[in-house]
């Protein structure tokens, strides 16, 4: 990056007019060339004043710069984290790809600050959604361990719970976020246990109101269908058996209650529970099922552990999770053999999430040309990356406000399947909402980063339209808007 600091050549001062920086489209697209020369080469290309005006066919692919290690590091940071600030990128680039992978995987998740201040009257009790969302977004921006944060978001979209059903009268959703972060890089077995006894989950998928006598199937079904095995790998009888076997859990009781005046004028009061510390669900044996069951081909007595063991013994589980991870971090159209390989690694490591993710990031597929820009940033990833790029963490409230317009509301996934991915994020509505977010951010900035810093965020690989549009203006603010709103910046 230091080499690029001579950027003044491409950030023209108001006067006297100087030749506009030119972006060489051919070079921008010729990734091999660019990669080979490194990002500094782009600067040279810019200053060289070359602009190729030959028309280009549609359907051309992005030229992958991933043979260059710096580009590979940036590719990793865009996917394993929320994109990098220039400082983070510089550090990672000097560490190199392998050491960066090691660091991301091995750093234990940094905990967020306490949601409540010490004297907050709501402490240990009810939540406010916007405040909870802002708290998380601020941590996404500030955390020194962004990979753990990215995985927390991934698990939030995998082991889903939503505010509509869980509600805000308890701290359950807040606890769940803390738990998902703590477990984000552990192993699937302990994760499934934590998920099953999580109070927000107990409420969201109704396990807390199920009993062995009249079981509620909701958790049992989604545990297998969405969380572990995928549809088609179990029968309806398995759903019913698991529902019986898992029954017995109830929500934790508050440590005490307090009376809150909601409307003094109308005399509206409500009693809220207060918890001194986060708790898990409680198991009540008399609500459990006592008989024998047949589940996933085995007959016997099943408790919660036995159900989870049976799921982990089933070959579909590792394949399902590995497939989801591959689609989330590599490409929507990976080979089945690749997924099988990841699944084998995952299972033979004792379902260790770090082993799985290391296998993903260090695979040839991850750095392949086909994987370059094969993923679309989710709205949250896009917005966090924007704010990191322009170093504006104070604009975090904009992320909370704009989420709904882009179809991603933290703590409110659309359904138990979580958020859609990739191409599903590209609708007329969402493209518009992303442009508007970029425009709002750019309008709020007091200072605008130089163009070369921005181009590093997209490896300097630009499509012809973006290249010529950037080339057509000298206005730094306009250039920033164009880059953040460009198709290039939506991809990872």
Partner 1 sequence: MGDEIGINRLRRRDFMKAGLVFGAGAAGLAAGYAAVPDAFARAVYAATTNGVSNDRILVMIQLAGGNDGLRTVIPLQDPVLHDLRPRLAAMSVGSALPLDAEVGLNQNLKGIKQLWDQGRVAIVQGVGYPNPSFSHFESIRIWETGDPSRRQVDGWLGRTLARNYDADGHPLAGCACGTAEVPGALRDLQATLTVIESQRTFGFTGGSEVEAAVGALYRNTPGIYGALFDTAMATARDAVAALQAAQAKYRPAAQYSDRQQLVYASKNQLAAALQLAAELIVTGTGVKLLHVTLGGFDTHYTELARQDDLMAYLDSAVSAFFQDLDAHGMADRVLVATWSEFGRRPRENASGGTDHGAAAPLLLIGGPVKGGLYGEAPSLTDLDATDNLKYTVDFRSVYQEILGPYLGADPKEILGGTFERLGFIRDPVATF
| Residues 90-129 close enough to bind partner 1 by CB under 8 A | 129
Question: Residue 338 interacts with partner 1 (CB under 8 A)?
Answer: yes
Q: Which is nearer to partner 1, 59 or 108 (CB)?
A: 59
Q: Of 301-320, which residues contact partner 1 (CB under 8 A)?
A: 319-320
The minimum distance between CB 458 and partner 1, in angstroms, equals: 12
Given a contact cutoff of 8 angstroms between Cβ atoms, the answer to whether 295 and 302 are in contact is yes
Question: Residue 225 interacts with partner 1 (CB under 8 A)?
Answer: yes
Question: Residue 351 interacts with partner 1 (CB under 8 A)?
Answer: no
Q: Which is nearer to partner 1, 275 or 372 (CB)?
A: 372
The minimum distance between CB 97 and partner 1, in angstroms, equals: 23
CA distances from 205 to 232, 288, 290 (A): 20, 17, 22
> Using CA atoms, how far apart are residues 474 and 91, in angstroms rounded to an integer?
30
Q: Of 459-488, which residues contact partner 1 (CB under 8 A)?
A: 463-466, 469, 478, 481-482, 485-487
Which of the ranges 87-95, 145-153, 273-281, 414-422 carries the binding residues for partner 1, by CB under 8 A? 414-422
Q: Which is nearer to partner 1, 4 or 75 (CB)?
A: 75
Q: Which is nearer to partner 1, 41 or 208 (CB)?
A: 208
Residue selected from 257, 270, 432, 444 as contacting partner 1 according to rule CB under 8 A: 432
DSSP one-letter string for 46-70: HHTT--------TTPPPPP-TTSHH
Which of the ranges 11-19, 37-45, 272-280, 407-415 carries the binding residues for partner 1, by CB under 8 A? 407-415
> Using CA atoms, how far apart are residues 106 and 229, in angstroms rounded to an integer?
28
Q: Of 40-59, which residues contact partner 1 (CB under 8 A)?
A: 56-59
Question: Residue 404 interacts with partner 1 (CB under 8 A)?
Answer: yes
Residue selected from 409, 455, 458, 480 as contacting partner 1 according to rule CB under 8 A: 409
Given a contact cutoff of 8 angstroms between Cβ atoms, the answer to whether 452 and 7 are in contact is yes
CB atoms within 10 A of CB 348: 11
- Closest by CA to 180, choosing from 363, 408, 418, is 418
Q: What is the 3-state secondary structure (H, E, C) of 419-483?
A: CCCHHHHCCHHHHHHHHHHHHHHHHHCCCCCCHHHHHHHCCCCCCHHHHHHHHHCCCHHHHHHHH
Which of the ranges 85-93, 146-154, 181-189, 227-235 carries the binding residues for partner 1, by CB under 8 A? 227-235
Residue selected from 232, 267, 285, 291 as contacting partner 1 according to rule CB under 8 A: 232
Tokens, residue 303: 């408790």
Question: Residue 62 interacts with partner 1 (CB under 8 A)?
Answer: yes
> Using CA atoms, how far apart are residues 138 and 399, in angstroms rounded to an integer?
10
> Using CA atoms, how far apart are residues 342 and 417, in angstroms rounded to an integer?
22
> Using CA atoms, how far apart are residues 340 and 345, in angstroms rounded to an integer?
9
Question: Residue 387 interacts with partner 1 (CB under 8 A)?
Answer: no
> Using CA atoms, how far apart are residues 45 and 62, in angstroms rounded to an integer?
18
Question: Residue 294 interacts with partner 1 (CB under 8 A)?
Answer: no
Instruction: Give the end-to-end CA distance of the chain in Å, rounded to a whole number.
Output: 20
Residue selected from 86, 215, 254, 281 as contacting partner 1 according to rule CB under 8 A: 215
Residue selected from 27, 221, 347, 385 as contacting partner 1 according to rule CB under 8 A: 221
């Amino acid at each position: 990056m230091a080499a690029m600091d001579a950027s003044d050549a491409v950030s023209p001062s108001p006067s006297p007019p100087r030749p506009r920086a030119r972006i060489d489209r051919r070079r921008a697209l010729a990734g091999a060339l660019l990669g080979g020369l490194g990002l500094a080469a782009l600067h040279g290309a810019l200053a060289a004043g070359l602009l190729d005006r030959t028309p280009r066919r549609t359907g051309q692919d992005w030229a992958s710069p991933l043979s260059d290690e710096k580009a590979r590091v940036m590719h990793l940071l865009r996917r394993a984290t929320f994109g990098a600030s220039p400082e983070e990128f510089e550090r990672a680039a000097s560490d190199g790809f392998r050491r960066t992978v090691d660091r991301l995987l091995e750093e234990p998740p940094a905990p967020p600050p306490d949601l409540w201040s010490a004297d907050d009257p709501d402490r240990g009790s009810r939540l406010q959604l916007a405040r909870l969302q802002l708290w998380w977004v601020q941590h996404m921006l500030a955390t020194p361990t962004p990979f753990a944060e990215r995985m927390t978001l991934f698990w939030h979209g995998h082991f889903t719970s939503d505010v509509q059903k869980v509600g805000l009268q308890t701290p359950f959703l807040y606890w769940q976020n803390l738990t998902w972060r703590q477990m984000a890089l552990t192993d699937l077995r302990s994760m499934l246990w934590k998920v099953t006894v999580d109070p927000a989950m107990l409420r969201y998928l109704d396990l807390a109101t199920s009993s062995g006598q009249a079981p509620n199937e909701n958790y049992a079904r989604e545990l297998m269908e969405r969380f572990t095995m995928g549809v088609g790998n179990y029968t309806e009888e398995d759903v019913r058996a698991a529902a019986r076997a898992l029954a017995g859990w109830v929500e934790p009781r508050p440590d005490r209650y307090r009376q809150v005046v909601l409307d003094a004028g109308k005399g509206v009061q409500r009693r809220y529970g207060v918890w001194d510390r986060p708790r898990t669900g409680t198991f009540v044996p008399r609500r459990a099922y006592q008989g024998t069951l047949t589940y996933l081909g085995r007959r016997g007595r099943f408790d919660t552990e036995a159900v989870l063991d049976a799921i982990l013994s089933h070959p579909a589980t590792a394949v399902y999770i590995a497939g989801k991870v591959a689609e989330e971090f590599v490409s929507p159209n990976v080979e089945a053999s690749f997924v099988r390989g990841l699944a084998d690694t995952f299972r033979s490591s004792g379902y260790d999430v770090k082993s799985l993710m290391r296998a993903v990031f260090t695979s040839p597929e991850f750095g392949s040309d086909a994987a370059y820009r094969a993923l679309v940033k989710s709205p949250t990833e896009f917005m966090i990356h924007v704010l990191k790029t322009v170093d504006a963490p104070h604009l975090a409230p904009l992320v909370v406000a704009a989420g709904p317009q882009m179809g991603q509301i933290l703590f409110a996934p659309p359904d138990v399947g979580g958020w859609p991915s990739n191409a599903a994020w590209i609708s007329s509505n969402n493209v518009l909402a992303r442009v508007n977010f970029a425009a709002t951010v750019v309008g709020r900035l007091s200072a605008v980063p130089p163009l070369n810093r921005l181009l590093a965020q997209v490896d300097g690989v630009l499509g012809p339209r973006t290249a010529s549009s950037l080339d057509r203006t000298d206005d730094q603010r306009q250039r920033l808007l164009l880059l953040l709103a460009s198709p290039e910046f939506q991809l990872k």
